[in-house]
Amino acid sequence: MKSFFITVMIFCFSLSVHASTKVEVQGLFSSKAVVSVNGKRHILAVGETSPEGVKLISADSHSAILEVDGQQKQYSLSSISSISATFKKRKKLQKKIYVNPAGMYMTTGRINSRSVKFLVDTGASAVSMNTEQADDLGIVYDKTGKHITVSTASGFVDAYQVQLKSISVGGITQANVEALVISGKHPGPILLGMTFLSRLDVVQSGNAMTLTQTLKQVE
């Protein structure tokens, strides 16, 4: 498997740094973690500190140690949820994806209601496709997207940041998903990256990866 495939277990827990500060660890990688502070998401490597002062001491696929206000604490894979009285129940939608003989998690899905094939890539910061794939999907990236430069295995290339109306995998659908359209033939398959996956619980166990979307239903 290529180096950018990193097993990730997505989870969420909360703690109070101050009365008005909310910290959530939304993902665990090898030596990295996705940390949200007051709703602002940061991908921190070990030793890095968020602009709000939350420092990642260590991380693996099972737990992370955060330093907040000079105090360190280990957090294991867990989930704490709080449901307002205005909500009656939570509905979960799941999609299980099995690794193929090449060691990749491939699945079918839809972008803007058009059928596509995805390579699930927890190491990709965003959903990514090449310009030919975007043209086939009718995405007018050169007019609606923001022009940027990105680094690939072939060096620095032109790319466009775009907003996709929707992405669906199985019964899971996310609206208004940020994506990258990259000039040239990279990537090969469309990468289902963290701009989609970070909104879900993602658990890899054995040869299967399970994506879970939790929906709140109003009474």
Query: Quick one: fold of 14-76?
Result: SH3 type barrels. (2.30.30)
pLDDT score of 47: 87
Where along the chain do its domains lie? 14-76, 87-218
Q: Identify the sign of the CA torsion 172, 89, 200, 147.
A: positive
Question: Tens place of pLDDT for every residue, the chain, 219 residues?
Answer: 433 333 333 333 344 344 455 777 777 777 887 887 777 888 888 888 888 888 888 887 777 788 877 777 776 544 333 333 343 455 889 999 999 999 999 999 999 999 999 999 998 999 999 999 999 999 999 999 999 998 877 788 999 999 999 999 999 999 999 999 999 888 889 999 999 999 999 998 889 999 999 876 544
Architecture of domain 87-218: Beta Barrel (2.40)
Distance CA(141)–CA(104), nearest Å, equals: 28
pLDDT score of 23: 74
